[in-house]
Amino acid sequence: MEQLVLDSRTRLLVLTGAGVSAESGVPTFRGMNGLWENHPVEAVASPQGFQADPALVWRFYSQRRTGAADVKPNPGHDALVRWEAHLGDRFLLTTQNVDGLHTRAGSQRVVDMHGNLFRTKCADCRREPFDDTSVHPSGTVPKCDSCGGRLRPDIVWFGEMLASADLERIGEFVSRKDGTRLVFLAAGTSGAVWPAAGLVDEVRTAGGETWLVNYESAANTERFQHFVQGLSGQVLPTLAKLV
Ligand code: APR
C-alpha cells in the first residue's frame, strides 16, 4: 500500500464522512437508500420537513441519538487521534458526521461542519445552541425555554448553509502560508454533498497533495491524486508514516 508521509513539514486537512463511522455500526445515509421508515431522508432532514412535521423529525433524530450513544469509535477514528498528536496545529479534521465519535475518540481540532447530533437549538429565536441528549420518540416537539418556540436538532440540514466560521477555519488552514506542505485526505465520503465535495479542488488550487480512502469509488474520485480503496478502519491505521 502507498504510504502517506506525515513529517514536520506537513500540514494535514482530513475530511470524514459517514463511511468512517460505518464500522462502528452507524448506518450511512446512502446505505439507507435515502429512506428512513419509508420517508425520504429529505423529509426528516430539511427545514421544509421540519415545518411540515416536526414530531416526525424529532422521532428520526431521537432514534439517531439513541443509536449513536451506544456505539464506540473504531480504529479509523483512533488513527486520526494519533496523527493529530504527531502534527499538533498542523492538523485539522473536518467532518460531515454528526455522531460526535471523533471527539469521543480524542480528536481535538475538529470542525463539525454538519452540526452535532447531541446539540439542540431553537428554530424560532437566536439563543445559543446547547448540549442535549434528550429524546422525543413519541411524537412530541420540545419547546424553547426562552421564547416558547420549537426546538430543533443543531444539524445542518439539506438546503441549509454551513456556519461561516467553520468555512473560514477550513479556508484559513488551506491557505496558511507557513512553508509547510499541504496534504488533504478524505475518507468514507461519497463526494456528492457540497461544499465538502469541492474541498479537493480547493486544496489542489492551493498546491496541495490529495488522498482518498473509500470503500467504493466516490463521485469525485478522479479529482484525487491517490485513491486507496478499502475500509477506513483497516486502511487508516497503517496508511501514514509518522516521521
Ligand atoms: N470505510 C470507508 N468508506 C466507507 C465505509 C468504510 N467502512 N463504509 C462506507 N464507505 C463509503 C461508501 O462507499 C460511500 O462512498 O462511505 C461513503 C458514505 O457515503 P454517504 O452515506 O453519502 O456519506 P457522506 O458522504 O458522509 O454524506 C454526506 O450527506 O446525507 C448528507 O448530511 C448528510 O453528512 C451527510 C452528507
Say what the pTM is. Answer: 0.95
**Total H helices, total E strands in the chain:** 9, 13
Query: Where in the sequence numbering do the catalytic residues fall?
Result: 114
Percent of the chain whose predicted confidence (pLDDT) is above 90: 89
- Is any ligand 1 atom within 6 A of the Cβ of residue 28? yes
Distance from residue 216's CA to the centre of ligand 1 (Å): 10
Atom of ligand 1 nearest to the CA of 196: 28
Q: Is the pLDDT of residue 1 over 90?
A: no
Contacts of 43 (CB under 8 A, 6+ apart): 49, 52, 53, 56
| pLDDT score at 37 | 86
Task: Kindly report the protein residue whose alpha carbon is nearest to atom 25 of ligand 1.
Answer: 189
